[in-house]
A and B are shown apart, each in its own frame.
Chain A
Amino acid sequence: MTQLIQTLINGVSLAAIYALVAVGFVIIFKSTQVLNFAQPALLLLGALWVTYFTTVVGINFWVSLIIAIALSAATGVFVERTALRPMVGKPIFAVAIMTIGLNTMLTVFALAGLGIDLRPIGEPWGLKTIEFAGFVIAQRQVAALVTAVVLTSALLVFFKYSRMGLAMRAAAFDQEVALTQGVSVAAVFALSWALSAVFAMFGGVFVGAGVGIDRTAAVTALKALPVVIVGGLDSIGGALVGALIIGIAETLTSTYQQQFLPQLGTGFAQVVPYLVMFVVLLVRPTGLFGTEEVERV
C-alpha cells in the first residue's frame, strides 16, 4: 500500500509537469485553432534562459526566473509575429506543419545555447526531500505541483474575469464575431503564444530540476501531446485531467509492470501514454473534455 501511494505521489508530480506543457498547447489551440508542435522547443528555450542566467551570468534563481519569463513571452510573441501571422487564413494543416519546422529551428537554436553537457538549473530545491505521513516527497515534486495548480488557476481566473481573458474567449469562440466587437484578434494571438511559451518554460524548469537539463529534455514535451489528445484539445480542465491520467498511468506502469508483466520487456512505460491516447481516440475522438464539432445539415 505504501508503495502504491508513493507511486501515486510520483504520478501526480509527473502530471504537474505534463500539465504545464499541455496547457500551453491548449491555450494556442483554443485561441488560434493551431496545433502547436513547437512546444518542445519552447520548453528547451525556456529552460535555456533560466540555466543561462543562473549558471553563466551567475544571478539568483528567482531573478533569473523573472527574466526567463519575460524572454520566453517575448520569444512566443516573436514567433507568432514572424512565422504564424503570415499564415493567417491558410489551411490549418499547413500551419501545423509550419510549427513542426519552427520546432526544428528553435531546437537547433536552443541546443546551440545549451551545448552538449548537462546544465544545472540552479533551483533552490535540489534533491531536498520532505517526509509526510511516512512518505518521502521531493521538494521539487511539491514545487512542480504547486506551480501547476497556481498557474492554471490564475489562467482560469484571467480568462473568466479579465477584459483580455474575455477577449481571448471571444476570439476562441468566433474570430470574426470577436473582430466585429472590437476585439484585437492580433493581440489575442500574440498573448496566446506568449502564455504558451511561459508555461512551457516552467515545464522545462521542472524537467531539469534536481540533476540538470540537457538536450534530451524536449522528449518530455512530446508526452504533452497524448495528454491534450486525451483531455481534449480545447479544454484546459481536460489538459489537467489528461495529465493526471497519463502521469499516473506511466508511473504505475513503471513501478508494477516488471513485477506483474515482465514479458512486456523494459521501457514499456514509455508506450503507455500513446496507448492511452489510442484507446481514448477510439472511444471519444475529441478527447474526454474536448468540444464535439457540430455540423449544420
Chain B
Amino acid sequence: MKSRWLLSLVALSLVIAACGGNGETTTTTAASGTTTTQGGGDDTTTTTEGSGDIQYDVGVTPAPCDDAVNDGNGCIYLGIISDLTTGPFAALGVPLTAAQRDFWNEVNEDGGLDGFDVIIRDEDVIDAHYNAEDHAAGYEQIRGRVLALAQTLGTPQTQGILDRMAEDNVVGAPATWWSGWNFAEEGGDLILESGASYCFEGMNGMAFMASQLPEGFTWGMVRFPGDYGGDYGSGVEIAASQLGLGDPLFDLYPFVPISAGGSVDEAVATILQHKPTLIVVVSGPVEMAQIAAGVYQGGHQQFQILGASPTWNVALKGSEAMPLLEGVYKGTTPWGGWDTDAPGHEAMRASAEENWFDASQNRGPSGAYSAGWTWQYPIKALLEQAIASGDLTRANVAAIAAELEGVDYQGILPERSYAGTANDNAVRHSFIMKADAASADGLTNISNGAFTADITANFPFEAPCFTN
C-alpha cells in the first residue's frame, strides 16, 4: 500500500514537473560551471554561478552558441522586438534587424567578446507589428532567455515594457530617437540610445533651413502622431521660436499614416491653401513623397521640404518623384550617409556586401541598415565592460549601463558617455542631407559634416521635449 502511495507521489511529481511553464527552473550543466536560470514571467531572480572567473545568469551560457563561430567561447543571447511585416515601420524594421544580426556576426568572426560569442536566435526575434500589446507579449516570450534587447522598436511600445525590463534588469537599444531616453526617470538608464534625438534633429534642421531660405519665409508642419511627430515637431517649434520665425501657417498633427487608413489629400490641400516656403514633414517616406508630388502637381512649385530621418527610404530613388525630390527634399539624419568615410561605415558596408548586397534582401544602402548597425555599439561596449568586470549578471549589466562610458562608434558618432545628466551627455549634432540620385542611399550631405545649431548647442536639456 505504501509503495502504491509512493509510486503515485512520484507520478504526480513527474506530471507537475512536465506541466511547468513560465517560471520553471532549468539547470544547465556547462563546461566550466553550472547555471540555474529562472524562466520568464515570474519575479524570482536567478541563481548565479561562476563560469571560470565570470558570473552570469539569464541569457548567458558557458556552453557555445548553436552553430558557434568560436567553439571555445560561451554564448550571450540577445533579443529583438521589431516591426517585421505589417506595421508602419516594417520597411525600417527588416533592415534594422538584418544589420544587427550582421553586426554580431562580424563581432563573432573577429573572435567574439573576450570569450563569448553574441547571438540573436530566430526564436528571440519577435515581430510585434508596431503594436504595444504584441510588443509586451513578445517580451514575455523572450524575457527568460535573453540577456538584453538588441532592438526594441517604438517609443510607446518600449515604454510599455519598461517596468518589466526594470524588474528583470534588462537593458535595450531602442529603435527610436525620443528625447526622453536621455532621462533616467523616463527609463533611460536601461535604454542605450544613439545619436541626436528627434527633438535636436528638428532644431538643427529648422536652424539650417532658416540659414538657407530668404528672410521672412513661411512654414508649416505635417506630422505623425506620437513621440515621432511630437518630439521632432517640438524641436522645430523651439528653433522657430528662438529664431523669430513666427508660428507655422498650419500644423497638421496628428496626421494619420496611410497604413492606418489615412491619406495625404488633406495635407496637400492644406499646403496648397497656405503655399508655405518650407514644409516640415514628419511622416513615413511614402507620405512624404506623395505630399511633395501632390503639392507640386497642385501648382505650388516653389517650396522646400524638411524631413525627419524616417521620411527617407532608398527606394525613393527609383520613384517617379525622385527628380522632384532632388529639387525640394532636405532631411536630417543622426549620422552620415551610407558612403561616409569612417571605419564604422566601412565595416558596415563590408558586412552588408558580404552578407548579401542586394536592396531586395534589405541589406542594401539604407539609413535603416546604418541605424541598426550603429545602435549596437553601446551594447557591445556594455557587454565588454561587464565581461571585464567579471560579472555578466543582468543586475550588473544594468548597473554598468546607467553609467556607461567610452562607447566607441568607430567614427560613425563621436565617443560618448551615458553617465551624468542628459544635459551633459546628449548627442546634439545632426547631418543635413539632400536627395541625390547619384549617391548610394539617395542622400548627400550638404552641411559639411555634422551640424549643431547654436540653439541646439545651448539648449538647456532638462526634460524630454515631448511626452505623451
Chain B residues closer than 8 Å to A250, beta-carbon distance: 263, 265
Please tell me which stretch of B39-47, B319-327, B329-337, B389-397 contacts chain A, meaning at least 4 of its Cβ atoms lie within 8 angstroms of it. Answer: B319-327
Please tell me which stretch of A75-83, A184-192, A252-260 contacts chain B, meaning at least 4 of its Cβ atoms lie within 8 angstroms of it. Answer: A252-260
Q: Would you call B293 and A129 a contact (CB within 8 A)?
A: no
Closest A residue by C-beta to B364: A117
Question: Whole-angstrom distance from the CB of B357 to the nearest CB of chain A?
Answer: 16
**Contact A269-B299, Cβ < 8 Å, known A216-B259, A258-B250:** no
Q: How many residues of A contact B (CB 8 A)?
A: 40
Contact partner of B316 among A118, A254, A258, CB < 8 A?
A: A118
Q: Would you call B266 and A257 a contact (CB within 8 A)?
A: yes
Q: Would you call B320 and A219 a contact (CB within 8 A)?
A: no
Could you give, for residues 29-65 of chain B, a 1 whenever the CB lies within 8 Å of some chain A CB and a 0 otherwise?
A: 0000000000000000000000000000000000000
**Contact A251-B256, Cβ < 8 Å, known A138-B297, A211-B320, A212-B319:** no
Most buried by A among B85, B254, B269: B269
Question: Whole-angstrom distance from the CB of A247 to the nearest CB of chain B?
Answer: 10
Q: Would you call B261 and A219 a contact (CB within 8 A)?
A: yes
Q: Would you call A210 and B290 a contact (CB within 8 A)?
A: yes
Question: Whole-angstrom distance from the CB of B322 to the nearest CB of chain A?
Answer: 9
Q: Would you call A210 and B254 a contact (CB within 8 A)?
A: no
Most buried by A among B266, B318, B321: B266
Q: Would you call A212 and B263 a contact (CB within 8 A)?
A: no
Q: Give bound CA distance, A127 to B289, whole Å.
A: 11
Contact partner of A129 among B90, B254, B297, CB < 8 A?
A: B297
Q: Would you call B265 and A254 a contact (CB within 8 A)?
A: yes
Q: Total A-B residue pairs with C-beta atoms closer than 8 Å?
A: 120
Question: Is A169 engaged at the interface, CB distance under 8 Å to the other chain?
Answer: no
Contact partner of A270 among B94, B253, B263, B318, CB < 8 A?
A: B263
Chain A residues closer than 8 Å to B86, beta-carbon distance: 215
Q: Give bound CA distance, A210 to B289, whole Å.
A: 9
Question: Whole-angstrom distance from the CB of A150 to the nearest CB of chain B?
Answer: 23
Question: Is A180 engaged at the interface, CB distance under 8 Å to the other chain?
Answer: no
Chain A residues closer than 8 Å to B261, beta-carbon distance: 219, 222, 270
Q: Would you call B298 and A136 a contact (CB within 8 A)?
A: yes
Question: Whole-angstrom distance from the CB of B194 to the nearest CB of chain A?
Answer: 23
**Contact A211-B362, Cβ < 8 Å, known A118-B286, A255-B273, A257-B266:** no
Contact partner of A211 among B85, B94, B289, CB < 8 A?
A: B289
Contact partner of B256 among A138, A253, A267, CB < 8 A?
A: A267
Q: Would you call A117 and B315 a contact (CB within 8 A)?
A: yes
Contact partner of B273 among A215, A259, A267, CB < 8 A?
A: A259
Chain A residues closer than 8 Å to B262, beta-carbon distance: 267, 270
Q: Give bound CA distance, A247 to B313, whole Å.
A: 30
Contact partner of A127 among B250, B265, B324, CB < 8 A?
A: B324
Q: Give bound CA distance, A127 to B290, whole Å.
A: 10
Question: Whole-angstrom distance from the CB of A133 to the nearest CB of chain B?
Answer: 13
Question: Whole-angstrom distance from the CB of B116 to the nearest CB of chain A?
Answer: 32
Question: Is B446 engaged at the interface, CB distance under 8 Å to the other chain?
Answer: no
Q: Would you call A216 and B318 a contact (CB within 8 A)?
A: no
**Contact A120-B265, Cβ < 8 Å, known A258-B250, A258-B270, A266-B252:** no
Question: Whole-angstrom distance from the CB of B320 to the nearest CB of chain A?
Answer: 4
Q: At the interface, is chain B mostly helix, strand, loop or mixed?
A: helix
Q: Give bound CA distance, A115 to B409, whole Å.
A: 31
Q: How many residues of B contact A (CB 8 A)?
A: 46
Question: Whole-angstrom distance from the CB of B73 to the nearest CB of chain A?
Answer: 34
Question: Is B285 engaged at the interface, CB distance under 8 Å to the other chain?
Answer: yes
**Contact A216-B286, Cβ < 8 Å, known A211-B293, A267-B256:** yes
Q: Give bound CA distance, A214 to B285, whole Å.
A: 11
Please tell me which stretch of A2-10, A22-30, A280-288 contacts chain B, meaning at least 4 of its Cβ atoms lie within 8 angstroms of it. Answer: A2-10
Q: Give bound CA distance, A115 to B297, whole Å.
A: 28
Please report which residues of chain A, range 30-58, place their CB below 8 angstroms from some CB of chain B when the two chains form the complex: 55
**Contact A116-B94, Cβ < 8 Å, known A254-B269, A255-B273:** yes
Q: Would you call B315 and A219 a contact (CB within 8 A)?
A: no
Chain B residues closer than 8 Å to A210, beta-carbon distance: 290, 293, 297, 320-321
Question: Is B296 engaged at the interface, CB distance under 8 Å to the other chain?
Answer: yes
Closest B residue by C-beta to A2: B299
Q: Would you call B293 and A212 a contact (CB within 8 A)?
A: no
Chain B residues closer than 8 Å to A115, beta-carbon distance: 360
Q: Would you call A255 and B320 a contact (CB within 8 A)?
A: no
Please report which residues of chain A, range 269-297, place their CB below 8 angstroms from some CB of chain B when the two chains form the complex: 269-270
Chain A residues closer than 8 Å to B323, beta-carbon distance: 127
Closest B residue by C-beta to A214: B286
Chain A residues closer than 8 Å to B318, beta-carbon distance: 55, 118-120, 212
Q: Would you call A116 and B259 a contact (CB within 8 A)?
A: no
Q: Give bound CA distance, A267 to B320, whole Å.
A: 26
Chain B residues closer than 8 Å to A127, beta-carbon distance: 293, 296-297, 320-321, 323-324
**Contact A116-B90, Cβ < 8 Å, known A138-B297, A266-B254, A266-B256:** yes
Chain A residues closer than 8 Å to B268, beta-carbon distance: 254
Q: Give bound CA distance, A259 to B259, whole Å.
A: 25
Q: Give bound CA distance, A219 to B323, whole Å.
A: 27
Q: Give bound CA distance, A266 to B254, whole Å.
A: 7
Q: Would you call B250 and A120 a contact (CB within 8 A)?
A: no
Q: Would you call A211 and B321 a contact (CB within 8 A)?
A: yes
Closest A residue by C-beta to B291: A211
Please report which residues of chain B, range 261-281, place their CB below 8 angstroms from some CB of chain A when the two chains form the complex: 261-263, 265-266, 268-270, 272-273
Q: Would you call A118 and B320 a contact (CB within 8 A)?
A: no
Q: Give bound CA distance, A118 to B257, whole Å.
A: 15
Q: Would you call A269 and B91 a contact (CB within 8 A)?
A: no
Chain B residues closer than 8 Å to A120, beta-carbon distance: 318-320
Chain B residues closer than 8 Å to A253, beta-carbon distance: 266
Contact partner of A136 among B258, B297, B362, CB < 8 A?
A: B297
Q: Give bound CA distance, A55 to B315, whole Å.
A: 12
Closest B residue by C-beta to A212: B319
Chain A residues closer than 8 Å to B313, beta-carbon distance: 117-118
Q: Would you call A219 and B259 a contact (CB within 8 A)?
A: yes
Question: Whole-angstrom distance from the CB of B233 to the nearest CB of chain A?
Answer: 13
Question: Is B130 engaged at the interface, CB distance under 8 Å to the other chain?
Answer: no
**Contact A118-B266, Cβ < 8 Å, known A210-B290, A210-B320:** no
Q: Give bound CA distance, A257 to B323, whole Å.
A: 32
Question: Whole-angstrom distance from the CB of B35 to the nearest CB of chain A?
Answer: 38
Closest B residue by C-beta to A222: B261
Most buried by A among B265, B289, B314: B265
7 residue pairs from A and B, CB less than 8 Å apart? A55-B318, A117-B91, A117-B315, A212-B319, A216-B257, A254-B263, A266-B254
The 10 residue pairs across chains A and B that have the minimum distance between CB atoms: A117-B315, A126-B320, A255-B269, A267-B256, A254-B265, A136-B299, A254-B266, A138-B297, A216-B258, A116-B91
Q: A120-B319, A253-B266 are in contact. List 7 more A-B contacts (CB 8 A).
A: A115-B360, A117-B315, A127-B293, A216-B259, A250-B265, A254-B266, A266-B252
